[in-house]
Structure 1
Amino acid sequence: MNAQNLLEQFLGTGAAQSVGTAVTVARDKVANNGMAGVAGGLAAGGLLGVLIGNKKMRKKAGKLAGGVVGYGGAAALGALAYRAYQNWQSGQQPVAAPTAASPATTEAPPADSAFLPANAPASDGRPFELALVLAMIAAANADGHIDAEEQKRIFERVGAAELGAEDKGFVFDALSKPPSLQDVASLAEGPEQGAEIYLASRLSIDTDHPMEQAYLDALAARLALPEELVAHLEAQVAATE
């Protein structure tokens, strides 16, 4: 199984070009189809966009935080979580846009950082990229809105994706029986992985829906994330919306 490729397929395939063109993809959708089906941010162009775009209209336009443009999907996710974590540790106030006190950074996490998914496995010993995929699927299903017809369309899109048979089987199994919140939270080894699981889940959710907000709150509690860190993670997501 190619865990890194699977995660990239969810977040948007490729390196700099995929992330950098997410804005254009989302804006084109807005221009051509209004706000319907806009996945926005990191989700534009990836399987996550299909997963959440089939649920309902998303009041999002694609806008990526300037500091992550130039990274691939998985690296962008790590960079967002890393920035939030660094801002939290330094005692800064959460902000959704760069300021003089909290400037945007173009630094990627250090090469040995736990914020790079490939550097450490999840608690079950499997690649952490798989934990992030499971987190996105579980979060997207938090309100139980994915009906049989929508699931069929998602299955068809996954079937057409550039994934190996084992990777597709992993996704099909997860879509057929989404993991529980407890299952997802238990995959995190340490606060860095916990922050990334929360961030991946938050990107898959519409917090205007009470059930989805309740899911996020419960997930943060299960991951034992400090409220201040969660606020910084929320600020990073706001910068991509």
Structure 2
Amino acid sequence: MKDLQKLVGNLSKSGALSGFLGGVAGGGLTSLVGGKSSKKTGKKAIKYGALAAVGGLAWKAYKQYSEQHKATQQPTPKHTNRFDFTPATMPEQCFSQVVEDESGSGQLILMRAMIAAAYADGHIDETERQKIFAQVESMTLSMQEKAMLFDELRKPMTLSELVQAVPNAQTGIEVYTASASAIDLQQPISQQYLDALADQLCLPSELVSSIHLQLAAQ
């Protein structure tokens, strides 16, 4: 599993999160990584943590995908799938709302996605486990929800269960991004997991490529 806090720092430095979550990601998350706090954004930074970085990266990938689609003047695909990933139809706000959802459901599914992805190779080592513990503790979830996530460290969601829990297109993009950010792509079984996830979410291959390009740039 990758270091999510390092991902936050890299995204903040690159400007990928500029303006995302009302400025939280641009300044607040940098403060979070450095162990400092900001009066205006400190609470939100702690609340959303690395999940805001995932959302910002997912938005940037979708925006790039939309721009490429427009540049190549490809015909708008007909959608018979569960979700509609038509380029340039989802605003940035859709992506920020996934983690800003007061119910915590968006944060919950992204963490569940990360845990499931980290288990793609069949185990989570102690270092990975501690990173997950730290991220869960920073989230605005009830004690029951946090306990459920800790339980999932022993028995994570199956791929089909994860996909069925995805409520909309923007969350689907963030679920894939979260999974790809948490997984070891050097292992064939990990790549197989991501391929299966993209297939079951019916993500366009161009959008999947854009997500990986954004991750590789961090």
TM class by shorter chain equals 0.5 to 0.7
Name the counterpart of 1:211.
189
Cα 1:174–1:160 shift into 2, 3 Å: closer
Distance 1:127 1:74 in 2: 12
**TM-score of the pair, normalised by structure 1:** 0.58
Q: Match of 1:168, as an amino acid?
A: K
Q: Is it true that 1:87 corresponds to 2:64 in the alignment?
A: yes
Cα 1:145–1:160 shift into 2, 3 Å: closer
Q: Residues 132-182 of structure 1: CA distance to partner in whole angstroms, max 9, x if unpaired?
A: 0100000001001326xx399649955994676324312221112100111
Matched residue SS, 2:203: coil
Once the two structures are superposed, the pairs formed by residues 1-241 of structure 1 within 5 Å of their partners are 39-40=2-3, 42-44=4-6, 63-64=10-11, 65-68=14-17, 71=25, 72=29, 73-91=50-68, 110-111=92-93, 113-118=94-99, 127-146=105-124, 150=126, 154=130, 157=133, 161=137, 165-240=143-218
Contact 2:59 2:92 survives alignment (8 Å): no
Displacement after TM superposition at 1:191 (Å): 2.2
Matched residue SS, 1:68: coil
Matched residue SS, 1:141: helix
Cα 1:236–1:214 shift into 2, 3 Å: same
Distance 1:162 1:224 in 2: 31
Matched residue SS, 2:124: coil
Q: Residues 52-110 of structure 1: CA distance to partner in whole angstroms, max 9, x if unpaired?
A: xxxxxxxxxx73332226604333222211111111112269xxxxxxxxxxxxxxx64
Gaps in structure 2 of 5+ consecutive residues: 19-23, 30-49, 71-90
Distance 1:239 1:165 in 2: 36
Distance 1:75 1:162 in 2: 12
Q: Match of 2:108, as an amino acid?
A: L
Matched residue SS, 1:206: coil
Cα 1:110–1:230 shift into 2, 3 Å: closer
Contact 1:207 1:213 survives alignment (8 Å): yes
Q: Over the residues paired in the alignment, what is the CA RMSD in angstroms? A: 3.5
**TM-score of the pair, normalised by structure 2:** 0.63
Distance 1:146 1:218 in 2: 20
Distance 1:158 1:86 in 2: 30
Q: Match of 2:167, as an amino acid?
A: E
Matched residue SS, 1:116: helix
Distance 1:192 1:183 in 2: 18
Displacement after TM superposition at 1:206 (Å): 1.1
Distance 1:156 1:202 in 2: 15
Gaps in structure 1 of 5+ consecutive residues: 1-36, 47-61, 94-108
Distance 1:195 1:185 in 2: 11
Contact 1:81 1:115 survives alignment (8 Å): no
Q: Match of 1:202, as an amino acid?
A: A
Distance 2:132 2:208 in 1: 35
